[in-house]
């Protein structure tokens, strides 16, 4: 397997320059001007195209038992949709229900992904409770290269974690050099507000946002940050959606708390009026944290440009229209989630870079490199360097198209971004040296994706309290 990519504009998180890339086997062998292809190997002319490192989506749900049903994708469909959209690695939330054993969850998730995912993948290990067996399993999984955890401060009675378990999880994470990702909403306030709204007869999807308002997320974020501060652990807030929560995270960072921030593409482009649409049309847009007042979008874009928001993920979570109907008479029964794994990169490029003044370097950083750095995949992933995995996206900025469920590869029957224009798309995508996508079609090998084992990060420097 050898491939030469000629005449492209290489764009990384740090640089932009014209050069050719020679791939040998699964990795990048040479980067330079006027490289000559060995006899008989495929040469791709990337003139007029960008060459980006493969994009990384650090927050997806593929197999997900949730709210009495299951998210719709398989690892085959999610990974092929991801690749068509330029994402060559995803990190899935391995989230067994609170009553299930973690080891069983591990066997289930890895069993489903193996020989099914076409792109590389790894897992954030969900921690829902604390006991001797959980601790032992976490230690074993970290030793096996799963060096990030996931906790939910929301979803009382399901995935939600108690404060005592949160403290123990963070203490272990600090000891082992593991990053803890967290869904930050105050669970008690959500359940109280849900009950109050329902008692008032407020049952439609438009009440989802008022049941978990911005303050509830800001409180969850501040709470998580305080626990990070007390334990010295390294944290990562997932799907931060609004300016109040952003302030809570940035205030913590100013105090020296080691906290990273992720926002997800729906929160940059969709607002709460979508979820206020009547009937199931609104239910399609129910996710948590909810779509917010549009005013928050400017704050998110600015924080992204400034590098305060580290990463842009999807929180990809497809439930179809029939599943969304489960909440017709009660918004708390609408399965939460919006699919986006195929569209994240094109949307971020279009509304960030092409139309919004986001720099190309920050775009690559937020959609690829920084996730690789935070989660121990760099520079194998997230980089274009000799020796890095040859995960590359040859991107056509001349392409013009429109997003539609009818042409999507996600296993779902609606798109939250129906009708959104895009100003570019991947022309060719490689995964470890093999072409997986050409012109919007998957041409790779199903099931070739590898489970990525990662090393723990060295314990970061901590500000000593007091
Ligand atoms: O609404 C969402 N986000 N669904 C998926 C579960 C989660 O909270 O990430
Ligand atoms: Zn979440
Ligand atoms: Zn960071
Ligand atoms: Zn999620």
What are the pLDDT digits (tens) for 13-55? 999 999 999 999 999 999 999 999 888 899 999 999 999 999 9
Q: Is the CB of 336 under 6 A from ligand 1?
A: yes
Whole-number pLDDT of residue 453: 97
For the cut 80, the answer to whether the pLDDT of residue 462 exceeds it is no
Ligand number nearest CA of 365 is 3
Q: Is the CB of 337 under 6 A from ligand 1?
A: yes
Whole-number pLDDT of residue 331: 98
For the cut 50, the answer to whether the pLDDT of residue 149 exceeds it is yes
Q: How far is CA 199 from CA 158, 187, 326, 330, in A?
A: 22, 18, 19, 11
Question: Between 187-199 and 214-231, two packed helices, what is the crossing angle to 10 degrees?
Answer: 160
Q: Which of 49, 72, 240, 262 is nearest to 148 (CA)?
A: 262
For the cut 80, the answer to whether the pLDDT of residue 75 exceeds it is yes
- Comparing 34 with 157, the larger pLDDT belongs to 34
> Cβ distance 13 to 1 under 8 Å?
no
At 204, the pLDDT band (50, 70, 90 cuts) reads: very high
Burial class (CB in 10 A: 0-12, 13-18, 19+), 306: exposed
What are the pLDDT digits (tens) for 229-252? 999 999 999 999 999 999 999 999
| Distance separating alpha carbons of residues 193 and 211, to the nearest angstrom | 5
Q: Is the CB of 67 under 6 A from ligand 1?
A: no
At 455, the pLDDT band (50, 70, 90 cuts) reads: confident
Residue 336 alpha carbon to ligand 2 centre in Å: 9
For the cut 70, the answer to whether the pLDDT of residue 120 exceeds it is yes
Residue 57 alpha carbon to ligand 3 centre in Å: 16
Residue 238 alpha carbon to ligand 2 centre in Å: 7
ipTM summary value: 0.93
| Distance separating alpha carbons of residues 461 and 24, to the nearest angstrom | 38
The residue nearest atom 3 of ligand 1, judged by CA position, is 288
> Cβ distance 158 to 98 under 8 Å?
yes
Buried b (16+ CB within 10 A) or exposed e, 426-454: bbbbbbbbbbbbbeeebebeeebbbbbeb
At 98, the pLDDT band (50, 70, 90 cuts) reads: confident
What are the pLDDT digits (tens) for 308-364? 999 999 999 999 999 999 999 999 999 999 999 999 999 999 999 999 999 999 999
For the cut 50, the answer to whether the pLDDT of residue 162 exceeds it is yes
* For residues 370-379, average pLDDT: 97
- Counting residues of the chain whose pLDDT is more than 70, the rounded percentage is 98
Residue 437 alpha carbon to ligand 3 centre in Å: 31
Look up the pTM and report it: 0.97
- Cα angle at 372 between 367 and 373, to 5 degrees? 115
Whole-number pLDDT of residue 458: 54
Q: Which of 271, 300, 302 is nearest to 285 (CA)?
A: 271
- Counting residues of the chain whose pLDDT is more than 90, the rounded percentage is 95
Q: Residues with Cβ < 8 Å from 56, sequence gap 6 or more?
A: 87, 88, 89, 90, 91, 367, 368, 371, 372, 377, 381, 382
For the cut 80, the answer to whether the pLDDT of residue 459 exceeds it is no
What are the pLDDT digits (tens) for 425-439? 999 999 999 999 999
Burial class (CB in 10 A: 0-12, 13-18, 19+), 254: exposed
Q: Is the CB of 183 under 6 A from ligand 1?
A: yes
Q: How far is CA 315 from CA 114, 158, 266, 356, 359, in A?
A: 21, 18, 9, 22, 23
Q: How far is CA 263 from CA 5, 11, 189, 219, 308, in A?
A: 32, 22, 22, 17, 11
Whole-number pLDDT of residue 157: 85
Q: Is the CB of 51 under 6 A from ligand 1?
A: no
Q: How many other CB atoms are there within 10 angstroms of residue 117's CB atom?
A: 27
Whole-number pLDDT of residue 16: 98
**All structural domains of the chain:** 2-52+380-397+416-442 (2.30.40.10), 71-374 (3.20.20.140)
Ligand number nearest CA of 65 is 1
| Longest CA span, the chain | 74
């Amino acid at each position: 397997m050898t491939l030469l990519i000629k005449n492209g504009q290489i764009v990384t998180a740090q640089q932009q320059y014209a050069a050719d890339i020679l791939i040998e086997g699964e990795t990048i062998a040479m980067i330079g001007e006027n490289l000559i292809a060995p006899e008989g190997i495929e040469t791709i002319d990337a003139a007029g195209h960008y060459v980006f490192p493969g994009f990384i989506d650090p927050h997806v749900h593929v197999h997900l038992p949730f709210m009495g049903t299951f998210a719709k994708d398989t690892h085959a469909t999610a990974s092929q949709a991801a690749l068509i959209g330029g994402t060559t690695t995803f990190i899935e939330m391995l989230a067994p229900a609170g009553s299930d054993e973690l080891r069983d969850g591990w066997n289930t998730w890895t069993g489903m992904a193996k020989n099914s995912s076409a792109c590389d993948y790894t897992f954030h290990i969900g921690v829902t409770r604390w006991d001797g067996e959980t601790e032992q399993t976490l230690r074993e999984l970290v030793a096996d290269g799963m060096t990030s955890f996931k906790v939910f401060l929301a979803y009382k009675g399901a995935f939600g974690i108690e404060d005592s378990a949160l403290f123990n999880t963070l203490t272990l994470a600090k000891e082992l050099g593991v990053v803890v990702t967290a869904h930050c909403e105050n669970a008690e306030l959500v359940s109280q507000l849900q009950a109050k709204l329902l008692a008032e007869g407020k049952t439609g999807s438009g009440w989802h946002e008022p049941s978990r308002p911005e303050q509830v997320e800001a409180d969850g974020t501040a709470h998580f940050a305080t626990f990070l501060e007390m334990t010295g652990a390294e944290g990562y807030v997932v799907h931060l959606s609004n300016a109040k929560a952003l302030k809570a995270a940035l205030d913590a960072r100013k105090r020296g708390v080691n906290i990273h921030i992720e926002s997800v593409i729906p929160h940059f482009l969709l607002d709460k009026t979508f979820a206020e649409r009547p009937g199931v049309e609104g239910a399609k847009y129910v996710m948590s944290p909810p779509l917010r007042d549009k005013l928050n979008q400017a704050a998110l874009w600015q924080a992204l440009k400034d590098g305060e928001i580290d990463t842009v993920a999807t929180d990809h979570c497809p439930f179809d229209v029939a599943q969304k109907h489960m909440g017709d008479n009660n918004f708390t029964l609408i399965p939460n989630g919006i699919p986006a794994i195929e569209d994240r990169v094109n949307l971020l490029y279009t509304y960030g870079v092409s139309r919004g003044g986001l720099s190309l370097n920050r775009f690559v950083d937020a959609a690829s490199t920084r996730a690789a750095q935070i989660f121990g995949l760099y520079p194998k992933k997230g980089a274009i360097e000799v020796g890095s995995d040859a995960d590359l996206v040859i991107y056509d900025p001349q392409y013009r198209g429109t997003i539609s469920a009818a042409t999507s590869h996600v296993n779902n029957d609606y798109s939250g971004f129906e009708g959104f224009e895009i100003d570019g798309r991947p022309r060719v995508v490689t995964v470890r040296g093999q072409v997986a996508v050409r012109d919007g079609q998957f041409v790779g090998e199903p099931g070739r994706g590898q489970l990525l084992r990662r090393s723990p990060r060295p314990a970061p420097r901590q500000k000593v309290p007091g």
